[in-house]
Structure 1
């Protein structure tokens, strides 16, 4: 237990000390002199000078005409900030030769906001201009401003506008924002469909909403009514979309009040397009005939509740590598090797469980990332070797399946989802610490390379925040030896580059990193001498780390995840023994609390939070997930159950 990971003391055929003391005497000073010095305030000085030159029109060489204003700017500044301007001004186009650019469809106020950001890095965003600014930032390929607009829209998401935000985000390929907006619409669907903005949505947006397996409405009739109201807003243009929309709604409720809705549809002059779908003969089916059963089976099960559960996977326990998974959910009295299955009651009953299957490979120090109902486990190590294998757990089917192997067998990598794509960074193979970044293409099942980090590192934290990836701490190879790092980097996917950010307050590896409330937390770990319980919080808008309350217990090589607005730290190694204890952090109170311990003591594990469907609503059918094959099986309810 003297070293958290057996392999980090191996580099090629040479065994080196994992955490060697720093050189003494004048060597550190000499190295610092060779590397040079930097003025951390120079960026602000330069930005201020450029802004003043822009405001005073000093040396400006480009005039930009909008609907109502004319702006004077510097070509070199615009080219440096925007690939759009760089291409336009460098290939001999008219704008570059005449020193004039005409933007007839852009308002002066919006362009002023964009140019102010180019020269200062600041933008005045409001609910009235943010969508126009986002459009222009996407057009000019100013990715930093685009991310800032997405952040502003995300922090102001409400049920009244969430689907409008979804449309804007989807149009501009802001996939993370689009996913959050759609998730909010699903969780507050009963409120969303009665908002005035609902009547102005694009038909494709409604189709996407109705295809969601989880919508927080009590009956399908509410969805039907919302669609009819939407179509009535512009019946001549929208009634052609009605068949597609209604096909995604279960019409079983029409058995009891069909005449009412037939009258409504006829009054609104919408009945003609729906006659084939709400055929009275089809609604007379009593559920006994084979044909009727076959039709019902094709209805998608609709859930109106979701339950967040915690999962821990893999790791090592008392010299034994683990494949099994443990689960904890609200209502559990302890951690279990089973997960709740969808139930028909308004509140889930936890005696209805399904056994969690083990991973295909036992592994420790693997990377983990979660999206929707999927948990991805990548690479890792066994007792004697490294792994390139990857696998994915599907909550709905309660099964694991294999993904394409990593480019190289390695452990201690970091993984995160950014803008809908799965990224993997860093890690250690037998030969070296990796600085590479790879992105997974789920359609082709392949990994593709992206821009490398500034330093190779393993056993670090990798998270996504505000449209960027953040690599925090870890172990790396520097100055001829393996060292624990305090260095942090940020990846800009638009430019495909990593840039340094403020360093941690102290070096740490085997740490936990989590994002909550738009802040990044670096938790615990190992500094080469001591196991840590201290915690630092990073503010990306100020590029600053500050200390917050420490954990109750020092630990490294633990799992970390976020659930219900709390950060959970699970298991790990304390410097003396393996742990099964669990702590959670409340960022609002800045306090840590002990919660139910896991069944097994394990370190080198990974943790994830997933949503398990609660109540299944599909008219008078209830779908339960089979333990044997994970497929939905319909069970007829009685009228009293319904």
Structure 2
């Protein structure tokens, strides 16, 4: 039989007249994958035994345990360990370069690692031979250091996963330092965010006194810190300085410049000057910073100039998550406007809580109007980072777009980025370790397999390892140090095919590798990450609009079905807020939607929430933090 036209909700795919290929039942040989098939000679192509990697790993581990055919002796600080050169070279570019480049280690079959303990190296080698590592709070940072040194990226990601799930207030800034040192920027961001949200408690921890000065400076630069007053920060940095005053007092001027002295009255500052002088910490530079100006300049006794006050940096002691939806189409009209939903809103609005307003009455909400995008668009890619929302590519009613723009929450403004190399729609974007990635999409000629990285320094897009196949209208997210591309549409033999295939990108090797396929082929879907699991939600399978949802466990490489959405939908916005997945708008197969539903992964239930003002599909959604009340 022959399938009907896809009838995809994207006008460009629909107008191209693309059809699905004829259905051909495929015989799967026992143990084979979905790609296996009987060829014209009756032979089975592409047979794969899913259990063989585990069998091989057991054999290698047994050979290592019994020292069978070992040809490398590693001397550590407290132990001598035997290993196989070919296994280490296959697992680590570090070992491959050392053992194959004619160096002494390769010729003498010996390797000396004087600064490494035998226990830590054994943990790393166990992972190399078996893919398993026993991580604890006592060894994980040392294992991370060695994994980074040996360039074993998968073990490095496993250590980051452990640390992220064991972040605690007492050690979060120490984890931040380790993560920054080893370029684990997503872990560093999570650790710093926890420190900001629990800053009052963090300042009192013994570990705070051991921080590097650069870490403390980074903390003080944050616009949001959960402390009662700026004086609390001043007390903390002086405690840190007094731990080793001879070496640390030179940092005091830089630290105190990051404290907003306008919110300390003159008597308090005079008292601190006397205290610092008594402790022999008051340098001339520091005295100049702390010496009170005329009391009016602090704005504490009489009305200071509002314009001057607003021009200075404001620190906030609270923040709240808000949802944004942007772009899309509604009844044939292309949209560039933005809607927002925040705590205390009774409905969606085209305004956002004003971060710069001083709230005298905490029950009184102050808002500022959300500006529209500079270019109305649908089917664009979206990514968020540091309260910036990036909108990339997309389509209008008549053409595709290469333009990109960015929304800044703190200034409530849009600004242009450099254009993509070519106009595309139905692409996907995500941040991984602080870097913006852009992948796939459909151009005028084909479904693209490009992967691009945005280079902020040179204001350009840099190509990276391409997807294994071109795909559009798919989902892409970052999880455990990798990018995951899920579902979508590709071109096969001149026709379009909805995909169940998924793949994972390793930035260390710059390559994509296949992972377990979806149970249901789907395009125009929503993809989200929550609680270290990946969710593929709704979409369109070529003939039906879907409400089904699948959950992916990256540690088991396995998809499982969870509760379906209340309504089938495709081409909708998806974002995560307050531990829930929100699905917004889209197309049901019969009409455009303005309904919103949220999923609670702990109860495995969907709930309806406030509907948007406009029915829209081909939209994008984002969650950002709006700073709360100003430091007083």
- Structure 1 residue 20 displacement after superposition: 4.3
CA contact (8 A) 1:166 1:182 kept: yes
Change beyond 3 A, Cα 1:516–1:33: farther
- Structure 1 residue 481 displacement after superposition: 2.5
CA contact (8 A) 1:421 1:439 kept: yes
CA contact (8 A) 2:270 2:292 kept: no
Q: Give the match for residue 18 of structure 2.
A: 16
- Structure 1 residue 385 displacement after superposition: 1.3
Cα distance in 2 for partners of 1:6, 1:415 equals: 21
- Structure 1 residue 187 displacement after superposition: 1.0
- Structure 1 residue 408 displacement after superposition: 1.3
Deviation per residue, 1:395-422 (Å, 9 max, x gap): 1111111111111111111100001000
Match among 50, 72, 79 for residue 69 of structure 1 = 79
Change beyond 3 A, Cα 1:293–1:544: closer
SS at the partner of 2:128?
helix
Q: Give the match for residue 420 of structure 1.
A: 434
Cα distance in 2 for partners of 1:4, 1:297 equals: 47
- Structure 1 residue 347 displacement after superposition: 7.8
- Structure 1 residue 548 displacement after superposition: 0.6
1:494 maps onto 2:508 in alignment: yes
Cα distance in 2 for partners of 1:529, 1:260 equals: 74
Cα distance in 1 for partners of 2:134, 2:260 equals: 45
- Structure 1 residue 2 displacement after superposition: 3.4
CA contact (8 A) 2:37 2:46 kept: no
CA contact (8 A) 1:427 1:433 kept: yes
Q: Give the match for residue 323 of structure 1.
A: 336
Q: Give the match for residue 350 of structure 2.
A: 337
TM-score normalised by structure 1 residue count: 0.92
1:233 maps onto 2:243 in alignment: yes
1:278 maps onto 2:311 in alignment: no
Q: Give the match for residue 32 of structure 2.
A: none
Cα distance in 1 for partners of 2:414, 2:297 equals: 38
Q: Residues 214-363 of structure 1: matches in 2 within 5 Å?
A: 214-252=224-262, 253-272=264-283, 274-280=286-292, 285=297, 287=299, 299-342=312-355, 343-345=357-359, 351-363=365-377
Q: Give the match for residue 521 of structure 1.
A: 535
Q: Residues 473-552 of structure 1: matches in 2 within 5 Å?
A: 473-552=487-566
Q: Residues 442-453 of structure 1: matches in 2 within 5 Å?
A: 442-453=456-467
- Structure 1 residue 55 displacement after superposition: 1.0
1:5 maps onto 2:14 in alignment: no
CA contact (8 A) 1:332 1:350 kept: no
Cα distance in 1 for partners of 2:12, 2:306 equals: 58
Cα distance in 2 for partners of 1:397, 1:186 equals: 21
Count of matched residue pairs: 614
CA contact (8 A) 1:454 1:498 kept: yes
Cα distance in 2 for partners of 1:33, 1:603 equals: 47
SS at the partner of 1:491?
strand
Cα distance in 2 for partners of 1:286, 1:418 equals: 42
- Structure 1 residue 90 displacement after superposition: 1.4
Q: Give the match for residue 635 of structure 1.
A: none
Q: Give the match for residue 383 of structure 1.
A: 397
- Structure 1 residue 116 displacement after superposition: 0.7
Q: Give the match for residue 463 of structure 1.
A: 477
- Structure 1 residue 256 displacement after superposition: 3.2
Structure 2 unmatched runs, 5+: 1-5, 28-35
1:575 maps onto 2:589 in alignment: yes
Cα distance in 2 for partners of 1:602, 1:410 equals: 20
Asked which structure has the greater RCO (Cα within 8 Å, sep 6+), the reply is: 1
Change beyond 3 A, Cα 1:347–1:498: farther
